Amino acid sequence: MKVYIAGKLGTESERAFLEKITKIAEEIGFETYLPHRDGGLARSNKDIKRIFKVDITENLPNSDIIIACLDGLHIGAGTAWELGFAYAKGIKMIGIKTDEPPSKALDYLSPMILGSLKIISSMDDLEKELKKIKKEL
């Protein structure tokens, strides 16, 4: 079962957080796709087609689960796009928001995000949720 990890990639700390999510999923036994690790970063406009191909054409549609980091005032545009795609394709979605309770995030996440996926609030909860999913297989 393949897990696609989504979230902002602009800073070292954002990428490190996604790497922690990836480590948890891999330790439980999931195959993962981590965009900046496996597809690279878009450093200039010349990287756009390559990144879109590897992330979206090749990996997201072939994933069984998407885990999306929802921390911050706004989720990344790419993360929102990936979640919309996953929803349309029936891919299981899990959001993780560690900086505030989802019940207080309406202004930041919108009803579309809040209403479309399960949102958990800690790495411990993520581990429990993934173990539950793994057990159900």
pLDDT at 41: 94
Class in CATH terms, 2-136: alpha beta
Q: Please report the pLDDT score of residue 17 as a whole number.
A: 98
Please tell me whether residue 64 adopts helix, strand or coil conformation: coil
Winning range, highest mean pLDDT, from 14-28, 68-82, 105-119: 14-28
- Please name the helix (run of DSSP H) or strand (run of DSSP E) that holds residue 129, with its range, or none: helix 123-136
At 62, which amino acid appears? N
- Given a cut of 80, whether residue 137 has pLDDT beyond it is no
User: Cβ contacts of residue 101 below 8 Å, gap of 6+?
Assistant: 121
Q: How many CA atoms lie within 13 A of 25 on its CB side?
A: 22
**Mean pLDDT along residues 5-22:** 97
- Can you give the length of the chain in residues? 137
Asked if the model's pLDDT at residue 106 lies above 80, the reply is no
| Rounded Cα gap, residues 87 and 90, in angstroms | 5
pLDDT score of 62 more than 90: yes
User: Which pLDDT score, from 0 to 100, does residue 11 have?
Assistant: 95
> What is the rounded average pLDDT for all residues in the chain?
94
Mean pLDDT of 106-124: 90
pLDDT of residue 110: 86
The one-letter code for the residue type at 116 is S
Are the C-beta atoms of 84 and 95 separated by less than 8 Å?
no
- Please give the residue that has the higher pLDDT: either 100 or 27: 27
